Structure 1
Amino acid sequence: MRTIGIITNPTSGSGRGARRGAEAKAALAAGGHHLIDLSRGSWAASYEAAMAHRDALDALVVVGGDGMAHLGLQVCAEHSLPLGIVAAGSGDDIAAAVGLPRHDIAASVARIEEGLRGATVALDVGKADGAAIEEPCRPRYFGAVLSAGLDAAVASYARAITFPRGPLKYKVATMREVPRFRPYGVRITADGREWTQTCTLVAVANARIFGGGLVISPESHVSDGRLELVTAEAMGKRDIARLFAKLKDGSHSTDPLVTIQQVDSVTIVPDSSGAALPPAFADGELVGATPLTITAVPGAVTVLGGLAQ
């Protein structure tokens, strides 16, 4: 009998999170495992509970979207504890990156069972550090993409509003933030090279996709041991609209205003040459204000039932 910690998000999806969490717990219990429910009243409290039990667990399972997977990364990265993901959110970019089922509790639990028998995949992560990283966890690990440009400003506003819910709130946030946009000033150091620029986007990608399937970095791979720095030069409103449309299929990668370069380490510092950078987000979660240093951590998380992509 294995001891499995489980974290669910009962307040998500107008009750759907509670139902999916209950279904996942029942399926895992049917497998004969001893479950410890580490769900608490907040993301931070659940993290603290998981950290307190980490060394007594054989696995940690999270149920929900990228926010829950992101929580799991904080507990399991650079540690021997394997992570199981029951992907049941609106985005699920991290689960997609390692070939896990979405919105299928039975299939997800079956993959976790396979993982407990040895079918696992090693997931690279990005590790962000800086003085303004949000509590309770510093450094902050991410599985998909860290954003510190216009997309982070959109995520920040979307996080603050309660209506509408789901993907529609990001459309509302985009319509609000794009008219207010002024190019950001940033000083970047990447693998020892330093430069200053004004930009629209500045992101560090571990995976190809973010934001529920937008293709930010077409050549990124979560098991290649490296990250991709994605920058877009200062743009006008029409160019921004075209850029966001191209993110649907990754065709922005051929835009002369966009640069994608493979890196091992990146430092992002605000610069007075442009507007102040918004707080950074990763996997849809608030990370904190720049300056930030982001490094690649190869094979940092063992994912149960994941597939090499």
Structure 2
Amino acid sequence: MRTLGIITNPTSGSGRGARRGAEAKAALAAGGHHLVDLSRGSWAASYEAAMARRDELDALVVVGGDGMAHLGLQVCAEHSLPLGIIAAGSGDDIAMAVGLPRHDIPASVRRIEEGLRGLTANLDLGKVDGDAIEEPCRPRYFGAVLSAGLDAAVASYARAITFPRGPLKYKVATMREVPRFRPYGVRISADGREWTQTCTLVAVANARIFGGGLVISPESHVADGRLELVTADAMGKRDIARLFAKLKDGSHVTDPLLRIQQVDKVSIVPDPSGAPLPPAFADGELVGAMPLTVSIARAAVTVLGGRAQ
């Protein structure tokens, strides 16, 4: 018998979160596991509960979307505790990056069982540090993408709305934020190089996708030991609209104003040459205000049933 911590989000999806959580718990209990419910009604409280008990657990299982997966990463990153993800959210970028089922609790539980028998994937993570990182965890880890420019402003609004769901909410958020946009001033240090620029987009990618499947960095991979810095120079509003539309298939990489470069460590600092940078988001969750430093944490988490191809 294994002891599994489980965190659900019963308030999500107008009751769907509670139903999915109950189904997941029943399926895991049917496998003979002892479950420790660490759900505490808020992201921070559930994190604290999981941290207090993690040395007693054989694995941690989270049920929900990228916010729940992001929470699980904070508990399991650079620790021996493996993570099981039952993906049931509107985006599920982290689950998609490791080939896990979505919206199929029996299939997800089977993957967790396979993981407990040895089928696992070791994932790299982005590791974020800075004085203004949101409590309760510093450093903060992310599995998919950290957004720090217009992409962060879009993520902030998308996080606040409940309809539409998935990638469409990012389209709505983009339509709202683009008319308000002024190019940001930023000073970037990456692997010993430093420059200042005005920019539209600033992101650090560990995975290909963000925002429910939008392809921001087509060559990124969650197990290649590198991060990708994605920047776009200052753009007009029409160019921005075209750029964001191309994120659906990754064709934005041909834009001459956009650059993608591999990095191990990058610092992002506001600069008075442009508008202030918005607070950064990662995996759809608020990380905190600038300045921030992001580094690669190689093979930092073990995901049960994952298949990082």
The whole-number CA distance in structure 2 between the counterparts of 1:61 and 1:116 is 12
Deviations 1:218-261 (A, max 9, x none): 00000001100000010001100110011011111111110000
Q: What letter matches 1:24 in structure 2?
A: A
Q: Secondary structure at the match of 1:25?
A: helix
Q: How does 1:17-32 map to 2 (within 5 A)?
A: 17-32=17-32
What corresponds to 1:166 in structure 2?
Answer: 165
C-alpha spacing 1:165/1:241, structure 2 compared with 1 (3 Å) = closer
Measured after TM superposition, the shift of residue 169 of structure 1 is: 4.2
What corresponds to 1:284 in structure 2?
Answer: 284
Deviations 1:155-199 (A, max 9, x none): 2123344x5352454333222211010000000000010000000
Measured after TM superposition, the shift of residue 41 of structure 1 is: 1.2
What corresponds to 2:88 in structure 1?
Answer: 88
Q: What letter matches 1:271 in structure 2?
A: D
The whole-number CA distance in structure 1 between the counterparts of 2:15 and 2:107 is 21
After the TM superposition, list the runs of 4 or more consecutive aligned residues in structure 1 that deviate by more than 6 angstroms. none
Verify: 1:60 aligned to 2:60, yes or no.
Answer: yes
What corresponds to 1:208 in structure 2?
Answer: 208
What runs of 5+ residues in structure 1 fail to find an aligned partner? Answer: none
- Cα RMSD of the aligned pairs, angstroms, is 1.0
Verify: 1:253 aligned to 2:256, yes or no.
Answer: no
CA contact (8 A) 2:187 2:271 kept: yes
Q: How does 1:1-309 map to 2 (within 5 A)?
A: 1-161=1-161, 164-167=163-166, 168-309=168-309
Q: Greater shift after overlay, 81-90 or 165-174?
A: 165-174
Q: What letter matches 1:196 in structure 2?
A: T
Q: Secondary structure at the match of 2:159?
A: helix
Q: How many residues matched?
A: 308
The whole-number CA distance in structure 2 between the counterparts of 1:284 and 1:169 is 12
Q: What letter matches 2:80 in structure 1?
A: S
The whole-number CA distance in structure 1 between the counterparts of 2:189 and 2:14 is 43
Measured after TM superposition, the shift of residue 151 of structure 1 is: 1.2
Deviations 1:88-119 (A, max 9, x none): 00000101111100000000000000000011
Percent identity, aligned pairs only, is: 88
Give the structure-2-normalised TM-score: 0.98
CA contact (8 A) 2:123 2:308 kept: no
What runs of 5+ residues in structure 2 fail to find an aligned partner? Answer: none
The whole-number CA distance in structure 2 between the counterparts of 1:76 and 1:280 is 22
